[in-house]
Amino acid sequence: MTRLMSRQDLQNLRSVCQKALSLETRKILVCGGTGCVAGGSLEIYDRLKALLEARDMPVSVELADEPHGDIPSVGLKKSGCHGFCEMGPLVRVEPQGWLYTKVKLDDCEEIVEKTVLSGECVERLAYAQNGEIYRKQEEIPFYAKQQRVVLEHCGHINATSIKDYLAVGGYEALEKALFDMSAGEILDEVSESNLRGRGGGGFPAGRKWKSCARQKETPRYIVCNGDEGDPGAFMDRSVMEGDPHRLIEGMIIAGIAIGSSEGYIYVRAEYPLAVDRLRMAIAQAEEIGLLGDNILGTGFCFHMHINRGAGAFVCGEGSALTASIEGKRGMPRVKPPRTVEHGLFDKPTNLNNVETYANVPMIIKNGAAWYRSIGPENSPGTKAFALTGTIKNTGLIEVPMGTTLREVIFDIGGGMRGDGRFKAVQIGGPSGGCLTEKELDIPLDFDSLKKVGAMIGSGGLVVMDDKTCMVEVARFFMNFTQNESCGKCVPCREGTKRMLEILERIVAGQGRDGDIELLEELADTISNTALCGLGKTAPSPVISTIKNFRSEYEAHIYEKRCPAGACSKLRRFVIDPEKCKGCSKCARNCPVNAITGVVKKPFTIDQDKCIKCGACKTNCSFDAVREEA
C-alpha cells in the first residue's frame, strides 16, 4: 500500500476499504483466538478456503486495495476471540449474525453448501439451551446482557488486516486527535470521561496523563502493560489478538497528548499469538505511514516497540515492568518517585494496561459525555472479564460497569456446571479476594468492590461451587504468589513462604491450634510492610477466605476433615455394615492392607493405616464404602 501523506489520503483509503467490505455480501468469520486455535479453528479456516476455491467462488481473504467494479464476493476471515470459549471452535456468518458452535472439520462441507451457496442456517451447529435454538449470536443468553465497546471488533473483523480496521472506522480517532484537537484538549477529554485504569487500581487515566505531560524532562514514554499474569485472566490477550490496531491507535493518541514519540508494549512470552498479531499490525501501520516519522504529514512522529517478558508475575508492577524493558531484573523499587516522574530509562512515563488504551479511540471519537453515559458516574464505561471455574459458560465477556455479580454468573455465565451450588467467586486474581452469596447483588465497579474488601483487578473471575475447598483455594493462590515473589523485600519473600507452609499443613491434616491467628498476624505484617502493591495484596485471598469461611479452616484444623471433601489427605472412607456383604474385594484391592474382616461379615477400615486413595470405594460392588465429609 502507498504511504499516506495527508488526512485526505487516509480518508480516501478508508473509503476504498469500506467499498471493498461492502462487496462482501456474505462473511464467514472463523475465530482465530488462542482458545479456538487450540481447538483446531485454523484447520477449519483452511478447509473452508479450499472448499470455496474448489467451487470457483470469488473469495475475499484480504480487502482489495482497489476494488474493480461491483463484483460481490465471500469474505473469509480469521477474526479475534468471539468470547464464547466454552463452545469453540466458533464460526460467525454475516450479515445474518448466525453463530456456529463446536464446529469440526467435517462440518465445513455443509457450511459451504447450505450457508454460502443456499443461504440457509445449519441449525445443528447453532447454540441450543433448554430446547430452544438460538441462531443469532446476539440472542444467545451469554451475549444478550453484554455491551461490547473494547471488544466490539473482536470476532467481527479480520484480526490480521489494517484494511478491515480502516473499513469499520479505524484510525478516525487518531485523525481527529491529529487535525482537530490540541494536546490539551485530548487530555481534557480523557479526564472528563473519567476513564479509570483497567489494570486493577482504577486510577483516573486523565489525571495520570496530565501528570506525565507536566513533567519538564524529556523524552517521555508511552508504555502498555500487556503482561496479564493473573491465573484465569485473558482479557488483554484477546484484545491484542483480536483488535491490535485499536490498542495501537490508543497509544498513538496518548503519545500526542503527553508529547511522546516512543511507545513500548510489554507482552508476556506465553502470548505468542498476541505478539505475532501486534508485530503484524505495527508493520502494517508503519507501511502506510500511521506509525513512524511525519505521520500523515503533520510532523508528529511515533515509533512502537514490543518487549517480551519472561512470565514473571511481578513484572505486572509498573517499576518492575520498566526495569525489565531496560534489560534489568524485573524488581519493583521504592516510590516515590512515581513512574510518571521517573519511569522507563528514568524518564517521565505514562503506563496503562491494554484495555485502558483500547478505550481511548472511542472516547476521542464519540466524546467524554458518551463514555460517561455507560455505567455508574464514578466508574463509567465497560469492563471485560474472563469467566472461568465451575460455571456453565466460560469465556470472555464485556459488561457495563455496575453490572451485578448475579447477572454475570447466572444470566451470562448460565450458573453452576452440573449439580453444584454457587459458593464463591475469586475476583482480582492473587491480589483480590473472594465474594460469596451475600455479595451476589453487589455492582461490579471500583468503589463498590473496595467497600467489601475486594478489587476488580485485571478482570479475572474464578467461580467456585460447593465442592470447592476454600482453604485449598487460599493455598493455591498463596503458592502462586510465593513462587512469583521477586524476593527483594523480606515481608513478601519470607512472609508468604511462612503463610504457605501453614496452609499446606492445614490441608494435609496437620493444622494446629493458633494457625488461623498466625495467618492473620502474618497477613497484617506483609500488607503493611511489603515494598510493592503485589506484595501488599498477596495475603488478600487468605484473609477473605478466613473472613467468609472460617468454619472450614476450623474443621480442617480441629476436626481433621474437609467439609467440601476436596482435600485428599483429609478424606475418610468408612464401610457401611448394613450394605457390606463381606466379599473382601475392598481388602484385596487396598494397597496398604488397611482393611480387615471375615468373609461374609462386614469389613472395617483402619483409619491410621488408610492412605485415602479411594481404591476401596472404586472396587466395591455393593456401594458399601462411602466418603465422609
Of all residues in the chain, what percent are helix, strand and coil, respectively (each to 5)? 45, 15, 40
Global pTM exceeds 0.95: no
Give yes or no: residues 443 and 395 share one domain.
yes
Give yes or no: residues 119 and 227 share one domain.
no
Give yes or no: residues 311 and 334 share one domain.
yes
Q: 572: pLDDT confidence band, cut at 50, 70 and 90?
A: confident
Average pLDDT for residues 581-589, to the nearest whole number? 96
Average pLDDT for residues 257-265, to the nearest whole number? 98
Percent of the chain with pLDDT over 70: 99
Domain boundary among 558, 582, 597: 558
In the predicted structure, residue 72 carries a pLDDT above the cut 60? yes
Q: Identify the CATH number of the domain in which residue 436 sits.
A: 3.10.20.600
Average pLDDT for residues 64-71, to the nearest whole number? 60
Dist CA 410 CA 13 (whole Å)? 45
Please provide the average confidence, as pLDDT, over all residues in the chain. Answer: 94
Domain of residue 412: give its range.
Answer: 382-465
In the predicted structure, residue 567 carries a pLDDT above the cut 60? yes
Q: Given this model, what pLDDT does residue 67 score?
A: 55
Q: Which residues contact 274 (CB under 8 A, 6 or more apart)?
A: 226, 237, 240, 241, 244, 267
Q: Identify the CATH number of the domain in which residue 480 sits.
A: 1.20.1440.230
Total number of domains in the chain? 5
Q: Report the length, in residues, of the chain.
A: 629
Q: 68: pLDDT confidence band, cut at 50, 70 and 90?
A: low
| SS3 state of residue 89 | coil
* Residue 220 φ/ψ, nearest 5 degrees: -110, 155
Task: Give the max Cα distance, the chain.
Answer: 94
Domain boundary among 142, 160, 178: 160
Give yes or no: residues 121 and 195 share one domain.
no
Determine, yes or no, domain membership for 360: yes
Dist CA 572 CA 289 (whole Å)? 68
Give yes or no: residues 70 and 109 share one domain.
yes
Determine, yes or no, domain membership for 114: yes
The DSSP call for residue 112 is I
Give yes or no: residues 334 and 304 share one domain.
yes
Q: Identify the CATH number of the domain in which residue 617 sits.
A: 3.30.70.20
Q: Given this model, what pLDDT does residue 456 score?
A: 86
Determine, yes or no, domain membership for 563: no
**pLDDT tens for residues 605-617?**
998 899 888 899 9
* Residue 604 φ/ψ, nearest 5 degrees: -135, 155
Determine, yes or no, domain membership for 389: yes
Angle between helices 244-258 and 272-288 (to 10 degrees): 60
Q: Given this model, what pLDDT does residue 452 score?
A: 87
Give yes or no: residues 457 and 484 share one domain.
no
Give yes or no: residues 154 and 285 share one domain.
no
Determine, yes or no, domain membership for 236: yes
What are the C-alpha distances in Å from 576 to residues 573, 591, 618, 626? 10, 20, 15, 7
Give yes or no: residues 16 and 152 share one domain.
yes
**pLDDT tens for residues 309-356?**
977 888 888 999 999 999 999 999 988 899 999 999 999 999 999 999
Q: Given this model, what pLDDT does residue 187 score?
A: 98
- CB burial string 25-64: b at 16+ within 10 A, e below: ebbbbbbbbbbbbebebbebbebbbebbeeeeeebbbebb
**pLDDT tens for residues 466-486?**
999 999 999 999 999 999 999
Give yes or no: residues 332 and 207 share one domain.
yes
Give yes or no: residues 176 and 68 share one domain.
no
Q: Given this model, what pLDDT does residue 442 score?
A: 93
Q: Given this model, what pLDDT does residue 533 score?
A: 86
Determine, yes or no, domain membership for 445: yes
Determine, yes or no, domain membership for 2: no
**pLDDT tens for residues 108-130?**
999 999 999 999 999 999 999 98
**pLDDT tens for residues 283-320?**
999 999 999 999 999 999 999 999 999 778 888 889 99
In the predicted structure, residue 70 carries a pLDDT above the cut 70? no
Q: Which amino acid is at 38?
A: A
Domain boundary among 337, 372, 407: 372
Q: 65: pLDDT confidence band, cut at 50, 70 and 90?
A: low
Q: Given this model, what pLDDT does residue 629 score?
A: 66
As to burial, measured by CB atoms within 10 angstroms (0-12 exposed, 13-18 middle, 19+ buried), residue 521 is exposed
Q: 429: pLDDT confidence band, cut at 50, 70 and 90?
A: confident
In the predicted structure, residue 512 carries a pLDDT above the cut 90? yes
Taking the alpha carbons at both ends of the chain, their separation in whole angstroms is: 67
Give yes or no: residues 527 and 585 share one domain.
no
Determine, yes or no, domain membership for 377: no
